[in-house]
């Protein structure tokens, strides 16, 4: 089975078929979401928050992104695999962006890379694309700019804000990206960008008019019920399932119910009997 390609994802927009993307961080979850039939798996730098417990994504390194992408690649057989480029792995220069993207492709086994920003990263996108590496853009609420934005705040409100986000999206497309994530922007703005661009748009907190949607696997599965952003819909409540299961395990260990006979092995190997040597006279 071969992975979906850049051409496959672009064709979905032309065919008015929604694109399903999920963010995952390890081989097990990669295998599960791939088995569910998603179109693309993103190894996001959100691993800094979801996996490492940090307050934002800024501490994630390129080495960590490579590691997690390679892990996910072992579980994904059908979906298109996208690797996030972490903070300061592409902002210094287009040449740095190319080297970082190359590592994510060679060592991480990604099929494409994603970077945040619009007009200011257009040259970096061009450099990476010119080397034959497919690029996914990301505009609107860009988590790596959390401090500049004053927090995780909706972007593109008001005429000026909307014009800036639209200009970023157009710059990303013009630079050669084949796909773009629209995060945390008003629904009407996302709809306009989706109409204006020839490349597919993937929304997160950007409304239903986008060409597809992305959610973090942990969020859609309800693995942290204290995390309640407006853009997330829980399709399960696995935190409750997991806590109940571990609680039952602990009770059975303490009461001696587990492990039972069927959880062990029988037939201890007998000790070898000493062999008496005949005395020869």
pLDDT tens track for 149-203: 999 999 999 999 999 999 999 999 999 999 999 999 999 999 999 999 999 999 9
- Judged on CB neighbours under 10 Å (0-12, 13-18, 19+), 3 is middle
Pairwise CA distance, residues 161 & 153, whole Å: 12
Task: Please spell the DSSP secondary structure of 34-96, one letter per residue.
Answer: HHTT-SEEEE-TTHHHHTT--SSSTT--HHHHHHHHHHHHTT-SSSEEEEEPPTTSSSS-HHH
Taking a C-beta distance cutoff of 8 angstroms, is the pair 43, 72 a contact? yes
Is 58 part of a structural domain of the chain? yes
Say yes or no to pLDDT of 3 above 70. Answer: yes
Confidence of residue 242 (pLDDT cuts 50, 70, 90): very high
pLDDT of residue 279: 46
Is 235 part of a structural domain of the chain? no
Confidence of residue 277 (pLDDT cuts 50, 70, 90): low
Of 130, 96, 132, 127, the closest CA to residue 112 belongs to 132
pLDDT of residue 271: 63
pLDDT average, residue stretch 1-25: 96
Pairwise CA distance, residues 169 & 181, whole Å: 9
Pairwise CA distance, residues 49 & 251, whole Å: 31
Q: Is 114 helix (H, G, I), strand (E, B) or coil?
A: strand
pLDDT of residue 281: 41
Is 107 part of a structural domain of the chain? yes
Name, in order, each residue with C-beta under 8 angstroms of 24's C-beta and a sequence gap of 6 or more: 30, 33, 41, 42, 43, 72, 217
Is 13 part of a structural domain of the chain? yes
pLDDT of residue 56: 97
pLDDT average, residue stretch 202-220: 98
pLDDT of residue 131: 98
Pairwise CA distance, residues 49 & 183, whole Å: 17
Q: What is the pLDDT of residues 99-154, one digit of tens each?
A: 999 999 999 999 999 999 999 999 999 999 999 999 999 999 999 999 999 999 99
pLDDT of residue 266: 86
Is 280 part of a structural domain of the chain? no
How many distinct structural domains can be found in the chain?
1
Is 168 part of a structural domain of the chain? yes
Please state, as a whole number, how many other Cβ atoms lie within 10 Å of the Cβ of residue 8.
14
Question: Which residues form the catalytic set?
Answer: 183
pLDDT of residue 41: 98
Is 272 part of a structural domain of the chain? no
- Range(s) of the domain holding residue 186: 6-220
With residues binned 3-state (H G I as helix, E B as strand, rest as coil), the percentages for the chain, rounded to 5, are 40, 15, 45
Task: Please spell the DSSP secondary structure of 144-187, one letter per residue.
Answer: GGTTTTTSS-----HHHHHHHHHHHHHHHHHHT-SEEEEES--H
pTM: 0.93
Q: Which residue has the higher pLDDT, 194 or 269?
A: 194
Q: What percent of the chain has pLDDT over 90?
A: 94
Say yes or no to pLDDT of 1 above 80. Answer: no
- Judged on CB neighbours under 10 Å (0-12, 13-18, 19+), 132 is exposed
Is 240 part of a structural domain of the chain? no
What is the CATH number for 145? 3.20.20.60
Q: Range with the lowest mean pLDDT among 2-11, 48-57, 228-237, 272-281?
A: 272-281
pLDDT average, residue stretch 23-46: 98
pLDDT of residue 267: 81
């Amino acid at each position: 089975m071969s992975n979906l390609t850049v051409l496959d994802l672009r064709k979905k927009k032309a065919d008015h078929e929604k694109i399903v993307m999920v963010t995952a961080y390890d081989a097990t979850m990669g295998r599960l979401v791939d088995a569910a039939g998603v179109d693309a798996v993103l190894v996001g730098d959100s691993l800094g928050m979801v996996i490492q417990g940090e307050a934002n994504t800024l501490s994630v390194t390129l080495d960590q992104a490579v590691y997690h992408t390679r892990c996910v690649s072992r579980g994904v057989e059908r979906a298109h695999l996208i690797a996030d480029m972490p903070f300061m792995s592409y902002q210094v220069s287009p040449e740095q962006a190319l080297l970082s993207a190359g590592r994510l492709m060679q060592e991480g086994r990604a099929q494409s890379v994603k970077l945040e920003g619009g007009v200011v990263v257009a040259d970096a996108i061009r450099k990476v694309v010119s080397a034959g590496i497919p690029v996914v853009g990301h505009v609107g609420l860009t988590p790596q700019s959390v401090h500049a934005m004053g927090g995780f705040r909706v972007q593109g409100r008001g005429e000026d804000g909307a014009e800036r986000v639209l200009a970023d999206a157009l710059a990303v497309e013009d630079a050669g990206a084949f796909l773009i994530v629209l995060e945390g922007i008003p629904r009407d703005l996302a709809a306009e960008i989706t109409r204006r661009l020839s490349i597919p748009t993937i929304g997160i907190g950007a409304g239903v008019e986008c060409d597809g949607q992305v959610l973090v696997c942990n969020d859609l599965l309800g693995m942290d019920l204290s995390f309640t952003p407006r853009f997330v819909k829980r399709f399960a409540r696995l935190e409750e399932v997991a806590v109940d299961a571990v609680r039952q395990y602990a009770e059975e260990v303490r009461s001696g119910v587990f492990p039972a006979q069927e959880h062990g092995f029988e037939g201890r190997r007998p000790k070898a009997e000493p062999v008496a040597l005949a005395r020869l006279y």
